[in-house]
Amino acid sequence: MKSKKQTPADELRLEYDFDFSKAQRGRYANRLKTEGSNLVLIEPELAATFPDAASVNAALHAIVEFAQRSTELTHPVTTNASKRRAA
């Protein structure tokens, strides 16, 4: 007779087997309160427009670049020479 392979009772891989007895509750809570989070919730109709995080970041970079360029056009940088009054 062939012997049956024994299946382990715990089917998690070793790298996923976490010992929760050593975990600390609220370990990062104070940092979250002081520094905040980098997560932003966007509306569902906007989320449908962007397939992934890279496309969201690309769109935001484009908006920032556009805003900087338009500010330079409406508020040109003046130099010290142009600030001098004619004598």
Task: Break the chain into its structural domains and give their ranges.
Answer: 51-78
Mean pLDDT across 56-78: 88
What is the enclosing helix (H) or strand (E) of 35? helix 29-35
* pLDDT number for residue 58: 96
Residue pLDDT, tens place only, 17-29:
888 888 889 999 9
Q: What is the pTM of this model?
A: 0.46
Measured between alpha carbons, how far is 14 from 50 in angstroms, rounded to an integer?
A: 36
Task: Name which of 73, 51, 53, 72 is nearest 61 in CA terms.
Answer: 53
Q: Are 50 and 56 in contact (CB under 8 A)?
A: yes
Q: Which helix (H) or strand (E) holds 68?
A: helix 53-74
Assess whether pLDDT exceeds 60 at residue 9.
Answer: yes
Q: Is the pLDDT of residue 34 over 80?
A: yes
Q: Is the pLDDT of residue 72 over 90?
A: no
Comparing CA positions, the residue from 70, 40, 68, 71 lying closest to residue 56 is: 40
